[in-house]
Amino acid sequence: MAERAFTSRPTLRRIEAGDHGVGIGIYAAVLQALGLLDGLGELADPGKDSVGLALASEQLPERVRLRRPRKVEESDDGR
């Protein structure tokens, strides 16, 4: 497995142990070797992050007021 993922056995053990110091590229290589790389794109899809979407919608303003452009008053000489 380590050869197919182009990494070492100790690094695979670190991945299995959940070591957060392993780079995302190594995870991607291991997922590719396992045939699971397509799942990585789904994991990072912000449209499927229900917690993130809820937090973002809480920060939206309740009401937005648009400013109207000021009326330009005509001068006495007709311009």
Q: What is the pLDDT of residue 78?
A: 56
Cα(32)–Cα(21) distance, integer angstroms: 19
Tokens found for residue 49: 């992050």
Q: What is the pLDDT of residue 67?
A: 84
The domain locations on the chain are: 9-56
For the stretch 23-58, pLDDT in tens is 989 988 998 898 988 878 777 788 888 888 899 888
Other CB atoms within a 10 A radius of the CB of residue 7 amount to 21
Share of the chain above pLDDT 70, in %: 91
Of the candidates 1, 43, 9, the residue with the CA atom closest to the CA atom of residue 24:
43
pTM: 0.52
